[in-house]
Structure 1
């Protein structure tokens, strides 16, 4: 197990370097350091001296990928890519273009993101699996038929519609909760209630249909027929045997999603004015702050790799036949 984790950790290094390189290339295809300076300075006419000063202060005065003026390894190390990327491997994200510390911003904004993402994840998992089991229990009946139609209908509606409709009905029309904003402590509940409900409902259709498909596949296997032949009730077969054996495909989707909890929701946080990592990323893209975008992409890649490792480890806990070598 330890050897496997070490191998995956070593595999992550070239992956993260490649992600950094692709992000760097795509960003600077759109923008040059001069363009970034003009946007950050926010002045109609910016003198070349002001642009050069801004670039020097933030380390954008060097070549992007290759420095022809240097010798040896300095041709690669004395570049924007190397100096901006290598420190991230020790989670030193540096400063944003506006001077704020990125690591500190991530730490402070992670709590609001988790305050939304964790309830949506946990409650959503319970609600979605329960509905899927209910549809399978009453399969080939009107409950299953109309349940599938409802799921398809929910899948066909954009998540943006749920946000706008929820804000209009619950906040503006009924005045049950604030339309946007955030407060720390227990007062955060009134701001998080509507985003959490919308998060669960917006993913209901696709998740329930997926779980239903998994459960139906398990229902046709030999061990289910054996359990029925022993006289076990349909309820015990479904909730004990089928659910237990369906955990591996469920974990494949569930554990990989766990790291995404720490990245926040781009749409929900932006529309509800919640100062999480999702809105932080959107603001960075709008202001073309490469330092923040690069840090968030790197952080997301690390969490995704961690999620894949956790998925493989969780397989061994659910199915003893699987062993990591």
Structure 2
């Protein structure tokens, strides 16, 4: 098992390096520092002097990869790649183009993102699995057919409709909760339960259908027939055997999502004015703050690779075939 985990960890490093290099190419080769300066200055006719001043203020005045004017290690270290990209491996995100400490912003904003994402994930998981088990329990009946139709209807509606409709009905008409906003501590609950409810409800269609497919594959296998032949009820067979053996694909979906919870929900946080990492990224894109966008792209890649690594490790815990090699 340990060799398997070490091998997966070693696979992650070249992936992360490739993502970092690709991000550098997209942000500094395709879109040069001069282009960044022109977009930030926001003028039709920007002078060369204004561009050079902006680059000097934000650390973009040096060459991209090789500084021939420096001596020794300075030829590599005094470059944009070393200043802006190498530090990301040590989670030194630097200063944004607007002068803010990106690392401090991330540490502050990840908690609202987690406060929204974790309840949505946990409650949604329980609801989706429970609904899927009910459809499998009453398979080949009108109840299953009605559940499938309901799932398709829920999937066919855009998540924006749920957000806007929920804000209008629950927030404006019924006035049960504020339409948007956020507060610290327990006071944040009144701002969070509506987006959590909408997040869970909008995901029932796709989630329940996927879990239903997994469970239907399991109920036709020989071990389920054996359990029924020994006298186990259908309910106990589903909960004790089918659900347990379907945990590998369930873990695949859940564990990959866990690290990405830090990134927040771009749409949900923006509509509900929650100061998380999702709205932070949207604001950076709107203001063309490339330093923040680069940092969030790299952080998202790190978290996704971490999710894949956690998935591989979780396989060793639930599947003896992986653990034994």
How many angstroms does 1:309 deviate by?
1.6
Which residue in the other structure is 2:295 paired with? 295
So what's the TM-score if we normalise by structure 2?
0.93
Which residue in the other structure is 1:61 paired with? 61
The structure-2 alpha-carbon separation of the partners of 1:74 and 1:11, relative to structure 1 and needing over 3 Å to count, comes to farther
Which residue in the other structure is 1:219 paired with? 219
So what's the TM-score if we normalise by structure 1?
0.93
Q: Does 1:146 align with 2:160?
A: no
Which residue in the other structure is 1:246 paired with? 246
How many angstroms does 1:64 deviate by?
2.9
How many angstroms does 1:300 deviate by?
1.2
Across the aligned residues of Structure 1 and Structure 2, the Cα RMSD in angstroms comes to 2.1
How many angstroms does 1:77 deviate by?
4.5
Structure 1 CA distance, aligned partners of 2:18 and 2:324? 26
Structure 1 CA distance, aligned partners of 2:8 and 2:82? 23
How many angstroms does 1:45 deviate by?
6.0
Structure 1 CA distance, aligned partners of 2:286 and 2:61? 23
Q: Contact 2:171/2:177 (CA < 8 Å) preserved in 1?
A: yes
Structure 2 CA distance, aligned partners of 1:217 and 1:111? 38
Residue by residue, what CA displacement relative to the aligned partner does 1:131-155 show, whole Å, maximum 9, x if unpaired? 0000000001111001001111111
Structure 1 CA distance, aligned partners of 2:72 and 2:220? 64
In the alignment, structure 1 segments of 5+ residues that lack a partner are none
Alignment length (residue pairs): 325
Aligned to 1:203, the other structure's residue is in SS state: helix
Aligned to 1:322, the other structure's residue is in SS state: helix
Which residue in the other structure is 2:279 paired with? 279
Structure 2 CA distance, aligned partners of 1:257 and 1:118? 10
Which residue in the other structure is 1:24 paired with? 24
Structure 2 CA distance, aligned partners of 1:195 and 1:324? 43
Structure 2 CA distance, aligned partners of 1:42 and 1:324? 60
The structure-2 alpha-carbon separation of the partners of 1:228 and 1:324, relative to structure 1 and needing over 3 Å to count, comes to closer
In the alignment, structure 2 segments of 5+ residues that lack a partner are none
